[in-house]
A and B are shown apart, each in its own frame.
Chain A
Amino acid sequence: MAEIRLNNLTKRWGDFVGVDDQSLHIKDEEFLVLLGPSGCGKTTTMRMIAGLEDPTAGEIWIGDRMVNDDLPKDRDVAMVFQNYGLYPHMTIFDNIAYPLKVRGTPKADIEPRVKKAAEQVELTEFLHRKPKALSGGQRQRVALARAIVRTPKVFLMDEPLSNLDAKLRVTMRAELKHLSRELQITTVYVTHDQIEAMTLADRVAVMKNGVIQQLGTPDDIYNDPANMFVAGFIGSPAMNLINGSVQSGMFVTTGGTKLVGIGAPDRETAILGVRADDMSVHDAGQGDIDVSIYAFENTGESTLLTVQWGKQRVIARGDRHLRKEQGETVGIKLDPDHLYLFDPDSGDRIRLGGK
């Protein structure tokens, strides 16, 4: 068990910058998720921690040892790969036993430990099979068992759920969470799926273009995004971003509609961020603005209204019993406590009155 420190870590391939001078301190027993779109440097960061990629500059510390020059085998980490990385010619038992075997574990110890790991991921009955004979979810469990069969300092998980179908992913997510609470080993988890990040993480690092945009608890990331990228990346549906300006304390849309009072100094251009959940749907005339419905969707647990807002479309979430027709006019009210203002040029957050 150990903490991980990345000091000014950089990875370049020629002119392409994969990870750009990033520092990160992952606490002992913490579950840290690296979240971002593909090509943001999250997998590269993890592979550098594993030793599968050499950093161009910077230091990697696991516990009190700088591991830059250590081979992967000497770093005492365990990794779960996106495509599982199972050994196709070995049985499930041998797959799980391999990390123990190569590390010279006494034969008598191997069997009970493999059995215990297999039990933890509910695989006991498949130990004699080959990976080919297992389903995707079962293979994923084998990869997990292989990681937990010994007690490494660090777990690394590279999009471990992304090859599973949607239903299985939800089940496996809960199992992962359960397992990680039980094992209490420092874990770095890479994903592009914000739900996985929100549900699993103690802290999330949102990355873009090799730079960590925000590091914080899932709460922070969702409720207090540092910039427009984080705001737009987290949440489903994505946060609405409305173009406009601030005039005498009011946010005014590009179309000229005075929308809502916000405590910010006047500025010519601004982007207002508001989540679908922070808008309420009322009858026409009862909200901050009257808009017509472009599309009405019923997802079962709620309803989504895409409304025409001048030249833009905005998504609001309504009660699951709400029924509206396309073309109808409704009033939309914004929750003044959950509005975000951004600088359209830099994407930076403009903090509103004391927040």
Chain B
Amino acid sequence: MRDQTLKYLLVVPAVLVVFATAVWPLIESLRFSFYQGRTDRGDFPQNWLGFENYTWAFLYEPAFWNSVWVTGLYTVVTVTLTTLFALGLAMLLAPGGKLRSGVQTLLILPFAMSPALIGVSFRFMFNPEFGLFDAFFGVVFPPLADVSWLADPDLAFAVIVMADVWGWIPFLTLVLIGGLASVPQDTIEAAQVDGASGWRVFKDVTLPQLMPVLAVVIILKAIFSLKTFDQVFMLTNGGPGTATQTLSHYIYITSTRYGQVGYAASVAWLMVIPMMVLTYFYAKFVFKKD
């Protein structure tokens, strides 16, 4: 057999697997999004609805808009917090920074933990009767000891944000350390000699040169925040009520609990729009040509 033919044959199994596990489900979900597809009735999917699932989400579903709002807020808050913390840590950990290797290794740990584990641990830590925070505040500031963190809409949201930021800081820090290492040291020293204070060196010289990496980090984190499901599922299951229900969780609930697969598929495809926008900018920054 000729090498030309053989090399394509060798790739075929991988292509088939990708097609079966990714491409085909994608196409199917797009098809379902135009049907009435309920799992609690026979003959799946049922009637062709055209764009009715989509318009339904926009016009008649406050729960959809609630999850859009929660997801948007969640994305803005987590991206901002994670980036700021990661940038600060990266400045301390970068070559020439004030902390070094041992600490660096230790800080990677949260990223090595599975999201489920993070969720369970945070849920346990915030347990109002025997959680870590209960014990801590019991000693330090008793009025906060018996707060049911996950039962209050705002607090529950804050706890999820906290767990997510905590879990994502290490990865973003690592990427930013790499970015900082590629900022030429002599430009920083030149600025110091030229008369710039520490803050101005950062603002005028370090930050502009870090911008391409920073942009990639922000977009990447925004993509991950937009599709957050695991922390919500583990910590609050969208509650109390729907106070912490993100889009991913809303899609999950409507399709599995309420059996509305067609409608859930259409919401999932609506989510593709912001994702595409972010991915476009991500690709633009990553594959930027000078």
Q: B187 an interface residue at 8 Å Cβ cutoff?
A: yes
Which A residues are in CB contact (< 8 Å) with B3? none
Asked whether, in the complex, the Cβ of B192 is within 8 Å of the Cβ of A73, the reply is yes
Q: Please report which residues of chain A, range 77-102, place their CB below 8 angstroms from some CB of chain B when the two chains form the complex.
A: 77-79, 81-89, 98-99, 102
Q: B129 an interface residue at 8 Å Cβ cutoff?
A: no
Which A residues are in CB contact (< 8 Å) with B200? 102
Interface footprint category on A: 20 to 34
User: Interface with A: B79-87, B201-209, B269-277, which one?
Assistant: B201-209
Q: B194 an interface residue at 8 Å Cβ cutoff?
A: yes
Asked whether, in the complex, the Cβ of A98 is within 8 Å of the Cβ of B191, the reply is yes
Q: B88 an interface residue at 8 Å Cβ cutoff?
A: no
Report the Cα distance A284→B228, complex, angstroms: 92
Asked whether, in the complex, the Cβ of A87 is within 8 Å of the Cβ of B191, the reply is yes
Partner of A73, one of B197, B205, B208, B209: B197
Q: A322 an interface residue at 8 Å Cβ cutoff?
A: no
Which B residues are in CB contact (< 8 Å) with A132? 290
Asked whether, in the complex, the Cβ of B209 is within 8 Å of the Cβ of A85, the reply is no
Partner of B205, one of A50, A71, A75, A87: A87
The answer to whether residues A71 and B192 also contact, given A88-B209, A89-B208, A102-B200 and a CB cut-off of 8 A, is: yes
Asked whether, in the complex, the Cβ of B197 is within 8 Å of the Cβ of A84, the reply is no
Report the Cα distance A87→B188, complex, angstroms: 9
Q: A146 an interface residue at 8 Å Cβ cutoff?
A: yes
Report the Cα distance A89→B184, complex, angstroms: 12
Asked whether, in the complex, the Cβ of B193 is within 8 Å of the Cβ of A78, the reply is yes
Partner of B187, one of A71, A75, A82, A88: A88
Asked whether, in the complex, the Cβ of A83 is within 8 Å of the Cβ of B186, the reply is yes
Q: A287 an interface residue at 8 Å Cβ cutoff?
A: no
Q: B196 an interface residue at 8 Å Cβ cutoff?
A: yes
Partner of B194, one of A51, A52, A89, A102: A102
Q: B13 an interface residue at 8 Å Cβ cutoff?
A: no
Report the Cα distance A88→B204, complex, angstroms: 11
Asked whether, in the complex, the Cβ of B193 is within 8 Å of the Cβ of A79, the reply is yes
Interface footprint category on B: 10 to 19
Report the Cα distance A40→B257, complex, angstroms: 74
Asked whether, in the complex, the Cβ of A79 is within 8 Å of the Cβ of B196, the reply is no
Chain A's nearest CB lies how many Å from the CB of B200?
A: 6
Chain A's nearest CB lies how many Å from the CB of B39?
A: 56
The answer to whether residues A85 and B192 also contact, given A73-B197, A98-B204, A102-B200 and a CB cut-off of 8 A, is: no
Q: A103 an interface residue at 8 Å Cβ cutoff?
A: yes
Chain B's nearest CB lies how many Å from the CB of A84?
A: 7
Q: Please report which residues of chain B, range 64-81, place their CB below 8 angstroms from some CB of chain A when the two chains form the complex.
A: none
Q: Please report which residues of chain B, range 266-290, place their CB below 8 angstroms from some CB of chain A when the two chains form the complex.
A: 290
Partner of B193, one of A72, A84, A86: A72
Which A residues are in CB contact (< 8 Å) with B195? 73, 99, 102-103
The answer to whether residues A85 and B186 also contact, given A52-B192, A73-B192, A98-B204 and a CB cut-off of 8 A, is: yes
Chain B's nearest CB lies how many Å from the CB of A326?
A: 48
Which A residues are in CB contact (< 8 Å) with B189? 50, 52, 72, 79, 81, 85
Asked whether, in the complex, the Cβ of B186 is within 8 Å of the Cβ of A84, the reply is yes
Chain B's nearest CB lies how many Å from the CB of A68?
A: 16
Report the Cα distance A353→B69, complex, angstroms: 95
Which A residues are in CB contact (< 8 Å) with B197? 73, 102
Report the Cα distance A328→B186, complex, angstroms: 54
Asked whether, in the complex, the Cβ of B184 is within 8 Å of the Cβ of A102, the reply is no
Of all chain B residues, which has the CB nearest A132?
Answer: B290
Which B residues are in CB contact (< 8 Å) with A71? 192
Chain A's nearest CB lies how many Å from the CB of B211?
A: 8
Asked whether, in the complex, the Cβ of A98 is within 8 Å of the Cβ of B193, the reply is no
Q: B190 an interface residue at 8 Å Cβ cutoff?
A: yes
Chain B's nearest CB lies how many Å from the CB of A88?
A: 7
Asked whether, in the complex, the Cβ of B208 is within 8 Å of the Cβ of A82, the reply is no
Which B residues are in CB contact (< 8 Å) with A103? 195
Asked whether, in the complex, the Cβ of B208 is within 8 Å of the Cβ of A81, the reply is no
Asked whether, in the complex, the Cβ of A81 is within 8 Å of the Cβ of B186, the reply is yes
Partner of B196, one of A75, A77, A102: A102
Which B residues are in CB contact (< 8 Å) with A88? 187, 209
Partner of B192, one of A72, A86, A87, A146: A72
Chain A's nearest CB lies how many Å from the CB of B285?
A: 15
Residue among B190, B191, B200 with the most chain A CB within 10 A?
B190
Which A residues are in CB contact (< 8 Å) with B290? 132
Chain A's nearest CB lies how many Å from the CB of B206?
A: 11
Sample of 17 more A-B contacts, CB < 8 Å, known A52-B189, A146-B190: A73-B196, A78-B193, A81-B190, A83-B184, A84-B186, A86-B187, A86-B190, A87-B190, A87-B191, A98-B191, A98-B204, A99-B194, A102-B191, A102-B194, A102-B200, A146-B194, A156-B193
A: residues with CB less than 8 A from B are 50-52, 71-73, 75, 77-79, 81-89, 98-99, 102-103, 132, 146, 156
11 A-B pairs, CB-CB below 8 angstroms?
A50-B193, A72-B189, A72-B193, A73-B195, A78-B193, A86-B187, A87-B191, A88-B209, A89-B208, A98-B191, A146-B190
